[in-house]
Structure 1
């Protein structure tokens, strides 16, 4: 398995026009510095990394079994080369089933699928007053339970509401154990957010959504993120967050990165789908509960990239926010960049930013729906 691609290649040092040679990993990038606006060649950029994926292709992560493979295959066809399968707040037995399946997928990638890096445990350690689209199975966390769950699958991210009794200490314990803890589904104050960051929390789950908002006399959790965060995830489907608020976050948070928060409805026609134990409805470009609450998205990472560019970001900056920053957040120095020795995770885009090819660890993926 080896290959070579020519075009405008986005390297850690900037754009070069030349050739990238690879097998499972990148062997060489050769070329001359270039401003890609001065030619008509394709763009070659790092594969997308999505740290918040609930579903796709009609399948939901909480189904367990084979569902995660179908989800990883669908997202691969949209340029996602690595992902975190994301759980819902649910009864313990449901979470066990999902994590066992995620663990199996993380241990063995199948051809044509995105690399499943592990799990994002989005709940159940959240505030029942800020469920968003989560079912009401919220509960306080214990270190013993998290360790038990970690035996099923790598827990790469854990979302917690820091204002819940006992959670601040747990944030410190989990962070010290090498897990990334981020703040989300929270009614916590600005002060709660600052305290959580001081205890080792590293980021924020779908910034602006399902958290206390910004007011000039009560800055809330959004204020804590905008004032202090190095990293935060955001859903740039232009439904979850207004473009103006996205621009605020881009100015305030140096390594803001994008996620899809995608559901089973992604890549599917309008209709009813499952999100954990919730029935959700896809219509008018979004996914909602019967009461109208947004319930995840139908976003894909290639569309996220195009949305960012449409908001005014240059392609190099947009690329970092759908790939490199997420890799850095998880400490994945061999992903999210096109450099010698990195995994050959890359996408080829035409001049309209449409996908032409996707390579995952050097394997060319079939972009046609199976």
Structure 2
């Protein structure tokens, strides 16, 4: 099997301990005549919020209530900046507080020059356009955005407990009840996305955050696409999570998210992705033929669910609505069950 090396500047760097991304080979080139962002919202998404309601709103996954403020656009002067929350290839994320409402948010700052140099303007535009329109308790809210001469600022919901990837590395792996709750909530979010004609295409622990009440939040829509036709050709995402049809260059649809759901379930239960290997060629082979080894501590019902998600033929993968009805989910994550609050001093 011949595997072409990625020469695309859009390709994301590999995360520590994880293979890099597939490249967006068929993405259109954007003319380098200045960075353009989508039109600003008509009204400001943040309004007047009482201080004592701030954490209540955050815990409910809701944005702050709209007030009487009639300013039409945002600027950096509207925020008090706090500590850095994370660093990325194209910018940083900071804790911030909107001065008028005192509402706490995460402010993602992207540098236009780096985005243009890497030729990913269309990807950033797509991320903003998609995420601003999504409203679900398990999807990180994007309240708004603005830009100046050098930077783009994304106003995001603040997820208090950070990255699921970091939490997984601290815990090494999660128990089955915890994973079932995460998979249940992620499945609901994906059902919502697919109903909105959005394919995420990059589900993995690094792109999931943990909110105020330890709830899961899908956070990164950089590889997402609004796809009414549901058939796509672009190779994208992280190698460990690529579906068989993607690595073989075949058209793909919403079923790639179902595959990723199975990969994530395995990684959260075991601590490593199911197709982990010494090099990318071995990983490709394991994915192509669905070569999986389950540790002895994995229950039969968990194996059954993953086996129905990690299927070569995308049309035969278990539909998301049936995932919610699977015995492993209903027994370990009944409706109303909440994810545990983790003590960082105990594993």
Normalising by structure 2, we get a TM-score of 0.25
Normalising by structure 1, we get a TM-score of 0.24
Select the structure that is richer in helix. 2
